[in-house]
Amino acid sequence: MIERGAGASTGSAPTSPRRLRARVSLLVAAVLVVAGLATVVGRRLAPTTQPSPAPPSGVSSGPAIAPEPLPGAAAMAPALASRLATAATTVDRATPPRTRQRHADGTPRYTNRLVLETSPYLLQHAHNPVDWYPWGDEAFARALADHRPVLLSIGYSTCHWCHVMEEESFDDEEIAAYLNANYVAIKVDREQRPDLDATYMDAVVALSGNGGWPMTVWLTPSRQPFYGATYVPPHDGDRGTRVGFLTLLRELRQVYDENPLRVAQQADAVTDRLRALAEIPAGDALPGARVLRRAFAEYAATFDDVHGGFDGAPKFPPPGELELLLRYHRRSGDARALEMVTRTLAAMAAGGIHDHVGGGFHRYATDAAWEIPHFEKLLTDNAQLATLYLDAYLVTRDGGFADVARETLDYVARELTDPAGGFYTASDADSDGREGAFYVWTPAEIRAALPAGMATAVLTFYAVSDAGNFDGASVLHAPRPLADVARELDTNPERLRFILSEARRTLRERRATRPRPHVDTKIVTAWNGLMIGAFARGGVVLDEPRFIELARAAARRLLDARDGDGRVPRSLSAGMPQGDGFLDDYADLAAGLLDLYEATFDGTSLEAARALHATLATRFWDAEHGGFFATASDAATELVRRKPADDLPLPSGNAAAAEGLLRLAELTGDEGLRRRAESTVRALAPALVHAPTRAPRLLAVVDFLLDRPREIAIVDPDGGGDPRMLATVRARFLPNAVVVATREPEVAARAGVVPWLADKRALGGRSTAYVCTRGACELPTSDLAVLERQLGEATPLPSE
């Protein structure tokens, strides 16, 4: 889910450089296979990052005109045409349709099958002149019957370059007419079908050496890929590219017709390679501390000592890597590990990638210094970064990290939260037809919004200038320390801090009057699991009960969306469950519920997490080799059934599942859960050892396995106790621990699920802490200093 092109494909939204290098290294053999067909096509695409023109806006509120036949497409069955016409009249017209093909009254000229879908991304394409199909058997049956190739386009609703390709190609009548007459066109929302996205992304990397969105793949009617690209300009010569999309469509159709054997051989070769990649050889031993030290060395070697982060531009937030480094520092005491974390977090917080006015973080920076972002904002990034800043605060006690975490959670609460519970997927980079328009400022806009002295402070601290740093305007960023700016303005730092805080509030109110970026209102189960965990932890660490209530509401809504068999949906879209849940939906939601349990000690969250893991064991577990598949045993398999280990940019389902199993094992004493976690790590060990930095979240599970995890209980007397006991525990960075707090009369009931609570008492009528390891407890204490000492002892990494 990344924007702006870093690769041979023009202007696409690429995968991160670290992830792309890993993919290319694994797929190099497949790249060699496809060289033959690339020669037949005979052209390469050149990179660019130019913006696209904006679509027209404004829609009449008058009666709709019936949609026209799609250019070049066969006549629709009357029943389908009637359904589409009816659907077209019921679409919400508060937002203009994303098409320039309109009647005089502003209503769209064309309507295709996607108008019947609920995905915001598919609905964006519902008025293209392309005869789009959603993914399904109907589309491939037509391709087979008509002897046509399939054009598969995968993207997501807040993807800038997906919008560009839609405006330039899919909304173009000439291109649509050729596509409709010669292909079967399928559109997929990658956020709704991550299985298809992952499989065909590997194919595109194999075929082109690059990956990103929009993903553009040519398939046979048997769903096998034989050519792939990302963003492609519409015509030869556009954006400095020798071959455009229309020419590519024509040439590949010619190859498909004239060289069917060659196409079939290539499709088979790529499919075989995808299957080989999916068949990870199972390991026979758990990785040791050596793999953690290797990962640390690799991170240190690629760390940017000037700006923080890893590698160069474009630069992506690295939450998984930095969380692992916090763990490594805790176990090793290595100051360099902590330095890499704090320098990166401070630089990101000061940079333009951080939304200083509204809170939260943009997707990535286009430069090495974090100054100029790509402006899309994702729920997943902000969930992970909020958690990371909370943990950095616990380790360093730097209040600035706590402030960033709070502002990030406030942003999600304000702008990405559904009133009925749950969190939206993302907000777009574009508004009012321009990338970043919602977020940038000119000096005149600042002065118009603020009193003179306050405006001067903002202009100086956030480096807002007449020249600007983004298309004549400025992305707010803080290149100088607050104390230096305070001296320049002849004030003290605390006074300047207050002025800037008040100014940001006023600017946020003024910014709210601008045209807002589109928000994808899907509620994706997995990503909500990450956010539930972030809000639960934020409520605990920052002492903000309102955050815990947001986590509760989201958890309640997702659990209520389960079917009669306890299966979770992939998402809620238009308020309704959509699609079957994948591995990460179960694993990430269970992780969030465990965080919520440790925030509230409400047993319903713990029981729900246990139930989700029971479903994982029956529907996703590989009983032969260990580990979890991404898709359920009763789900349709499209070419391959993957067993994910890659944690970039999101935690892999296997990492989340294994960590959840270990936490549940510590809480419940169920050694079978621990053995399943070990089997998961063992199954993925060869991939982990081969490329450890691809899987920082799985390495965190290795850290857990190599540690002596703590079971911590706080038992209060009936009628209340000393809240400082639990607060002392919560003020510590304890990644490999479980915590339960209870009143003494509830101990017996809770011990039915958490057996190590049995017989624990509030000694002497005072709140009592028990710090245990595998059932062996240190002396119970009601003394805060003693508890601090017991919690402060970390088990060093083994010396192997």
Q: What one-character-per-residue DSSP string does 582-626 give?
A: -HHHHHHHHHHHHHHHHHH--HHHHHHHHHHHHHHHHHTB-TTT-
pLDDT in tens, 213-234: 999 999 999 999 999 999 999 9
pLDDT in tens, 402-453: 999 999 999 999 999 999 999 999 999 999 889 999 999 999 999 999 999 9
Task: Tell me what the mean pLDDT of segment 270-285 comes to.
Answer: 89
Structure confidence at residue 112 (pLDDT): 94
Task: Tell me what the mean pLDDT of segment 246-255 comes to.
Answer: 97
CA–CA distance, 575 with 425 (Å, rounded to integer) = 14
Closest C-alpha among 589, 707, 592, 585 to residue 644: 585
pLDDT in tens, 502-521: 999 999 999 999 999 999 99
CB 697 within 8 A of CB 380: no
Close Cβ partners of 754 (under 8 Å, ≥ 6 residues apart): 667, 668, 669, 740
> In which band, very low, low, confident or very high, does the pLDDT at 775 lie, cut at 50, 70 and 90?
confident
Structure confidence at residue 60 (pLDDT): 34
Q: How far is CA 331 from CA 666, 689, 799, in A?
A: 19, 20, 11
Helix or strand run (H / E) with residue 572: strand 569-573
Coil, strand or helix: which one is 720?
A: coil
pLDDT in tens, 371-400: 999 999 999 999 999 999 999 999 999 999
| β pairing state of 519-520 and 426-427 | antiparallel
Burial code (b: 16+ CB inside 10 Å, e: under 16) for 496-516 equals: beebbeebbeebbebbeeeee
Structure confidence at residue 76 (pLDDT): 83
CA–CA distance, 551 with 555 (Å, rounded to integer) = 6
Coil, strand or helix: which one is 523?
A: strand
CB 310 within 8 A of CB 364: no
Closest C-alpha among 26, 4, 363 to residue 209: 26
Structure confidence at residue 43 (pLDDT): 37
DSSP class per residue in 355-407: -TTT-SB-SEESSTTS-SEE--EEHHHHHHHHHHHHHHHHHH--HHHHHHHHH
pLDDT in tens, 566-590: 999 999 998 899 999 999 999 999 9
> In which band, very low, low, confident or very high, does the pLDDT at 14 lie, cut at 50, 70 and 90?
low
Structure confidence at residue 63 (pLDDT): 43
Range with lowest mean pLDDT among 21-25, 328-332, 333-337, 356-360: 21-25
Structure confidence at residue 77 (pLDDT): 86
Residue 306 exposed, middle or buried by CB count within 10 Å (0-12, 13-18, 19+): exposed
| 574, two tokens | 């238009």
> In which band, very low, low, confident or very high, does the pLDDT at 39 lie, cut at 50, 70 and 90?
very low
CB 217 within 8 A of CB 237: no
DSSP class per residue in 132-194: EEESSHHHHHHHHHHT--EEEEEE-TT-HHHHHHIIIIIT-HHHHHHHHHH-EEEEEETTT-H
Q: What is the pTM of this model?
A: 0.92
Helix or strand run (H / E) with residue 229: strand 225-229
